[in-house]
Amino acid sequence: MSDAQSPKLFISYSWSTPDHEVWVMALATELRESGVDVILDKWDLKDGHDSIQFMESMVTDETVTKVIMVSDKMYAQKADGRAGGVGTETQIISAKVYETAKQDKFVAVIAEKEDGKACLPTFYGKRKYIDLSEAEDYAKNFEMLLRWIFDKPLHVKPEIGALPAFLSESTAINLGASAAYRRALDAVKQGKPFAAGAVDEYFRAVSEGFEKIRIQKENEKEFDDQLVENIEAFIPYRNEIVSLIVAIAQYNALPNMDQKIHRFLESLLPYVDRPAHITQYREGDFDNFKFLINEIFLYVVAVFLKYERFDSIQMLLSTPYYIHERSRNGQTGAFGYQAFYEYVRTLDYRSQRLSLGRLSLAADLLKDRSQSSGLDFNQLMQADLVLFLRGTQDGERWFPNTLLYASRSYGPFEIFARSMSQKYFDSVKPLIGVADKRELGALLLNFKGPQSQLPRWQFDTFNPEVLVGYDMLGTRP
């Protein structure tokens, strides 16, 4: 770094003892080696020069952007007694500290403590200081000093973003379930005897509250704009659902909790089709429900995979979902978990209308929305892969939107990487519906050759064999 780019820094200190002077010299040397243009009397005060004038000019010089006060017991006493050169310097420094609003030119560096307390001049008050007096914390606090000198704080205040969609008056929704959520979450975490009832109450409130997010067409707005606003406004409620599922996966030892989650998911399915009271509708009118219900189901599976609740996942994937109201294109009856995937046509229309040039707006939204969920996006992709493989094995269709982002993955997802252990693979393979590695290999053959059943986004796809780490499965006990 050139001198022109280096911050100019003056060190104010007391000639307390020879050892202290050596300590200050070492600090100054370390700062210069770190790109700081240090001014020190031992280097820059020439024979015959006025030491008081030199010190005063360094404190008041506008080209000197930083001043550190190396404060030990002697420095603090001289500053408080206004004695000697230190007293003169600190009179000037204290005035500068009080007259400037920014107060970012001066900082105290602690070189000594007395009875565990930092030795500081009285005028410095309760301002922040940097403690270099303890050897075990020196490296960490020296980095803090450098960050202060170069104005590169460790924690940078982020830019203010746009108003979240769910706070907008035009899009705000209220499921009326937040109080029930807090009761259920606390009951599950504390293992309270009424936890099962509290979870039921919350799930019922969410299911019934879904009616409140039905989109009412506004003539002055594009429907796809309404759709995106609607699903964005749902994020806080999605996060509540995910948070409760995480708590159940971590804390719950209550019986029938898997069944309660199954019944909750089942209760959402009627929303993907026309209810009896609506006679005029378009296919896309229920696309917000299709997106949200798919997302919720994906998160439930992702959470249970993360916490290795494989029996719970097996129950959710193998138990049919009964729909007694008009749904699934007017059909009623029992359906597999594939009922939680429905094509959201409005998102493709939006991408075309706005010339977004995206391969899958659904995949983009799932990825962007994962940032506030508490789950890593890789965990969603892992869940999508399990659902896709299981669906293929069962002869059903599950379209794994998130795996668009796995097209350049070069290694297996976590549960498959762990399945290098045969014992672990034995617990994972029922999720896919295969009996052994050989049967999984036969399944993977469906994705090779000209008759490949792999989903595609134009020329992009993913490699299931890589994502399951097939070659390494079961190679260890």
Per-residue pLDDT of the chain (477 residues; tens, 9 = 90+): 555 578 999 998 988 899 999 999 999 999 999 999 999 988 988 776 666 777 777 777 888 889 898 999 988 888 777 655 565 556 666 655 545 535 688 899 999 998 889 998 887 877 889 999 998 889 889 999 999 999 888 877 777 766 555 555 455 578 888 899 999 999 999 888 899 999 999 999 999 999 999 998 887 889 999 999 999 999 999 999 999 999 999 986 677 899 999 999 999 999 988 877 776 778 789 999 999 999 999 999 999 999 999 999 999 999 999 987 655 455 668 899 999 999 999 999 999 999 999 999 999 999 999 999 999 999 999 999 999 999 999 999 999 999 999 988 889 999 999 999 999 999 999 999 999 999 999 999 999 988 888 999 998 999 999 999 999 999 999
| Single-letter amino acid code for the residue at 237 | Y
CATH architecture type of domain 8-149: 3-Layer(aba) Sandwich (3.40)
According to the model, what pLDDT value does residue 101 have? 39
Whether the CB-CB separation of 209 and 175 falls below 8 Å is answered with: yes
Report whether 300 contacts 245 (CB < 8 A).
Answer: yes
What is the structure's pLDDT at 375? 95
Dist CA 73 CA 120 (whole Å) = 8
Single-letter code of the amino acid located at 425: F
pLDDT value of residue 91: 66
Return the structure tokens found at 239: 């996060």
Q: Where are the domains of the chain?
A: 8-149, 167-375, 378-477
What confidence score (pLDDT) does residue 165 get?
A: 52
Handedness of CA 329, 333, 337, 340 (dihedral sign): positive
**CA distance linking residue 257 with residue 309, whole number of Å:** 12
**Residues paired with 69 in a beta bridge:** 12, 108
Would you put residue 434 in left (φ > 0), alpha (ψ -120 to 50) or beta? beta
Q: Give, in order, the Cα–Cα distances in Å from 163 to each of 123, 128, 167, 231, 241.
A: 43, 34, 7, 15, 23
DSSP 8-state class, residue 340: G
Residue of 132, 136, 150 whose CA lies nearest to 69: 132
The per-residue pLDDT for 295 is 98
pLDDT of residue 330: 55
247 alpha-carbon distance from chain centroid? 18
